[in-house]
Structure 1
């Protein structure tokens, strides 16, 4: 995928974040993603109540936690940026990406990340404008193992 093809989609986000989604997920999908990330080149950091803590082996401890504990935040450091993940629900895996961080040199890492999620779950992965799955910019389909440009996310 060429940077020139997608650059305008990140420039046109008007201050919104981008979301990376695996929808119709399960606890097993979450576990597969965490296990794959542990083995990847990406550095992980987990925070609970603002404190850095060890990422548990069993992801269900993050999804089904004591309600008095704030929602955990996992940070995935890829290239020159960080993707943010919150364990809101077992049914949807979501990572936030700041589109202002997107530069040509980061694109290979983002594509690699999308493929990692799709291969771990054997499910489609989309990169969208924040909270707008219908405004996809990129999509990974496990049936063809490639990330495809879907955009433009916004019409001009």
Structure 2
């Protein structure tokens, strides 16, 4: 794997984020994802009820938001070394995380991110994809992970971002 190609085609710097998606998720999928993250990764969960930063995602607070018991949105930062993965728990039907491509600076960082994507895919038995920010079905998928199968799209970015 060539780092320069990865930087140019996947982790290009144009001021936008990259999104990580798992589509068509259920509350059961979210529960599995939260358990995986709490077990395997360092996290900082912002508990809006207490105003405190916690070292584990509080499932009941997240689910209370989705069930309309509170209108306060929580978020979590997941640490993959120097890569910060953000999740804001917008809705239950898809898992969405954000990363900043400026934090991916080596083949080791890329591998660390791909390992995270593989962990999620294996845990949920679902496709996980890395896309340009604000993905729609017409956009390309930069990386697709199906458990241990990995596809990378090295074609030019459709909006012509600066490389």
TM-score class, shorter: 0.7 to 0.9
**Deviation per residue, 1:5-30 (Å, 9 max, x gap):** 32113453521100000011111111
Distance, in Å, in 1 between the alignment partners of 2:156 and 2:87 is: 22
Compared with structure 1, are the counterparts of its residues 62 and 120 closer, same or farther at alpha carbon in structure 2 (3 Å cutoff)? farther
Unaligned segments of structure 2, at least 5 residues: none
**Deviation per residue, 1:120-140 (Å, 9 max, x gap):** 111100001101242221000
Distance, in Å, in 1 between the alignment partners of 2:130 and 2:8 is: 14
Retained in 2: the 8 A contact 1:76–1:83? Answer: yes
How many residue pairs match? The answer is 152
Distance, in Å, in 2 between the alignment partners of 1:88 and 1:30 is: 12
SS in 2 for 1:28: helix
Residue from 131, 144, 153 that aligns with 2:134: 131
**Deviation per residue, 1:60-109 (Å, 9 max, x gap):** 345335333x2110110111121000111100100000011111131121
TM superposition score normalised by structure 2:
0.81
Between Structure 1 and Structure 2, the one with more strand by share is 1
TM superposition score normalised by structure 1:
0.85
Retained in 2: the 8 A contact 1:9–1:151? Answer: yes
